[in-house]
């Protein structure tokens, strides 16, 4: 769902992204109407996520790319206004930071990439940081907490949390993220998803191919 609750986005192995508009009839029954179908990806679309405050949608795909969508000026349709390409394999997931000015993405190439826009969210986006060498297998999910921590779910059964370093030469155009903690055997099989609690910023949920969901408490040193 979009932050306004008025739009729903879905994605599929048929390479498409569908945008649905929510409305209510006279009897208060919810009705969903297809507002747009986007077919800009060339392979399966694995994940979609909305901007935290604006009507901007982000999708990632088996075609190694990330796409950003917004409504056209006339309001009659949606279109892709940016294609973010730097990953070398499937992009499994992406997430906006709380301000909506940066996107974190994770991939089958075992890397996390941080993308930033300067000013307008519909302006140019650039990859400003790559986190590599910390994951042993594909990274299936990524979640950005409101406090700025990045959690990853990995095919090596581990959960990792990264913290942004301030100072030591780090700048908004060249941020640095350091591994804060790693739970090497968080699950018995691939970790598929991670999600921060919306109000308790230290509580993280994870799920896995081992059939379990686990809750973790993240403590700063």
DSSP lists the bridge partners of residue 84 as: 66
| DSSP string for residues in 168-197 | TT-BTTB-EEEEEEEETTSSSS-EEEEEE-
Whole-angstrom distance, CA of residue 73 vs CA of residue 211: 45
Q: Is 111 helix (H, G, I), strand (E, B) or coil?
A: coil
Q: Residue 65: which residues within 8 A CB-CB, separation 6 or more?
A: 41, 83, 84, 85, 87, 91
pTM: 0.94
Tell me, what's the pLDDT at 152? 98
The mean of the pLDDT values for the chain is 94
Is 166 or 100 the better-scoring residue by pLDDT? Answer: 100
At residue 180 the predicted structure's pLDDT band, cuts being 50, 70 and 90, is very high
pLDDT digits (tens, 9 = 90+) for 6-24: 999 999 999 999 999 998 8
For residue 16 the two structure tokens come to: 């498409």
For residue 89 the two structure tokens come to: 């394999």
pLDDT digits (tens, 9 = 90+) for 54-95: 999 999 999 999 999 999 988 889 999 999 999 999 999 999
At residue 169 the predicted structure's pLDDT band, cuts being 50, 70 and 90, is confident
Tell me, what's the pLDDT at 219? 81
Supply the DSSP symbol for 173: T
């Amino acid at each position: 769902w979009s932050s306004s609750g008025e739009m729903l986005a879905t994605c599929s192995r048929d390479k498409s992204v569908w945008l649905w508009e929510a409305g209510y009839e006279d009897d208060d029954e919810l009705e969903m109407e297809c507002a747009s179908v986007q077919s800009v990806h060339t392979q399966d679309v694995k994940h979609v996520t909305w901007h935290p405050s604006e009507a901007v949608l982000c999708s990632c795909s088996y075609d190694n790319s990330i796409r950003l969508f917004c409504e056209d000026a006339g309001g009659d349709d949606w279109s892709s206004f940016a294609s973010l390409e730097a990953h070398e394999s499937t992009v499994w997931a992406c997430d906006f930071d709380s301000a909506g000015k940066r996107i974190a993405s994770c991939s089958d190439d075992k890397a996390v990439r941080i993308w930033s826009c300067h000013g307008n969210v519909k302006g140019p986006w650039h990859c400003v940081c790559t986190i590599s060498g910390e994951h042993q297998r594909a990274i299936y999910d990524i979640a950005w907490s409101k406090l700025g921590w990045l959690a990853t779910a990995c095919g090596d059964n581990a959960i990792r949390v990264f913290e942004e370093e301030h100072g030591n030469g780090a700048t908004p155009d060249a941020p640095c993220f350091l591994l804060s903690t790693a739970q090497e055997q968080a699950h018995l099989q691939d970790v598929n998803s991670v999600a921060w609690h919306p109000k308790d910023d230290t509580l993280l949920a994870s799920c896995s191919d081992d059939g379990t969901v686990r809750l973790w408490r993240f403590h700063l040193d």
